């Protein structure tokens, strides 16, 4: 799943109005922000395997730290807990923890059974929506549209930047997602690991949008 995770970040602004959109994006994508670092460190592995499912050309055979159920619970508790220690906002901290966990649930829906409960030897889960390209497109864009709708209803632009920064992000995510769906597979695993770090850009982008939008009344 890709834009579906951003949909959760956008929608969660309603439940956690004091959390910045950038922080919500970091939560929704936390384990995918960590994943390239684990790849670079050699602690997790992926192989390029065109046709692995109809949607992804990647075989996620080794990623227990970032994508196991146990890992997801630990990341959720850590992120929510650290946010609470820093900001003392229990509601926002709880929502952020849930948003981190939502990543695993959405991946559970899309991945073939490659998400382990704990280690690589444990049961692996996945409902396999990625076996259907039309199904994937319908669910991802459906979630994305719902997330955008909720975010626009919850916030209002303070200035023109508050309008264009948001539109820019939504267009960029859509183009990137279509590129992922219909573009060629990545040429090398090293490139996935390096390019994956560009995901931090969306966190910064979210903070920028948030500074230029306020809660609507």
Residues that bind Zn ion (CB under 5 A): 32, 107
Nearer to Zn ion by Cβ, of 34 and 166: the residue is 34
Query: Which of 190, 110, 141, 192 shows the shortest CA–CA distance to 6?
Result: 141
Query: Minimum CB separation from Zn ion for residue 184, in Å?
Result: 21
Q: Residue 11: enclosing H or E segment and its boundaries?
A: helix 3-15
- Minimum distance between the CB of residue 108 and Zn ion, rounded to whole angstroms? 10
Task: Find the shortest distance in angstroms from Cβ 188 to Zn ion.
Answer: 20
**From the CB of residue 104, how many other CB atoms can be counted at a distance below 10 Å?**
22
**Which two three-digit tokens encode residue 183?**
């573009």
Closer Cβ to Zn ion, 32 or 59, answer by number: 32
Q: Are the beta carbons of 127 and 108 closer than 8 angstroms?
A: yes
For residue 3, the minimal CB distance to Zn ion (Å) is 13
> Which one, 62 or 87, has the nearer CB to Zn ion?
62
Q: Which two tokens stand for residue 41?
A: 């460190």
SS3 state of residue 33 = helix
Nearer to Zn ion, 1 or 209 (CB): 1
Q: How far apart are CA 44 and CA 163, in angstroms?
A: 39
């Amino acid at each position: 799943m890709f834009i579906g995770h951003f949909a959760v970040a956008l929608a969660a602004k309603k439940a956690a109005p004091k959390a910045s959109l950038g922080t919500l994006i970091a939560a929704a994508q936390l384990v995918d922000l960590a994943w390239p670092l684990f790849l670079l460190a050699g602690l997790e592995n992926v192989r390029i395997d065109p046709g692995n499912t109809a949607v992804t050309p990647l075989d996620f055979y080794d990623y227990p730290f970032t994508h196991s159920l146990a890992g997801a619970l630990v990341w959720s508790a850590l992120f929510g807990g650290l946010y609470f220690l820093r900001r003392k906002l229990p509601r926002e901290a709880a929502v952020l923890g849930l948003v981190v966990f939502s990543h695993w649930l959405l991946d559970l829906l899309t991945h073939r059974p490659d998400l382990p409960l704990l280690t690589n030897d444990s049961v692996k889960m996945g409902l396999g929506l990625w076996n259907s390209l039309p199904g994937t497109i319908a669910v991802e864009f459906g979630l994305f549209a719902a997330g955008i709708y909720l975010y626009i209803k919850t916030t209002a632009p303070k200035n023109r930047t508050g309008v264009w920064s948001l539109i820019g992000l939504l267009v960029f995510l859509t183009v990137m997602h279509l590129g992922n769906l219909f573009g060629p597979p990545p040429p090398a695993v090293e490139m996935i690991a390096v390019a994956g770090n560009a995901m931090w850009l969306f966190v910064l982008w979210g903070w920028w949008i948030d500074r230029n939008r306020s809660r609507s009344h």
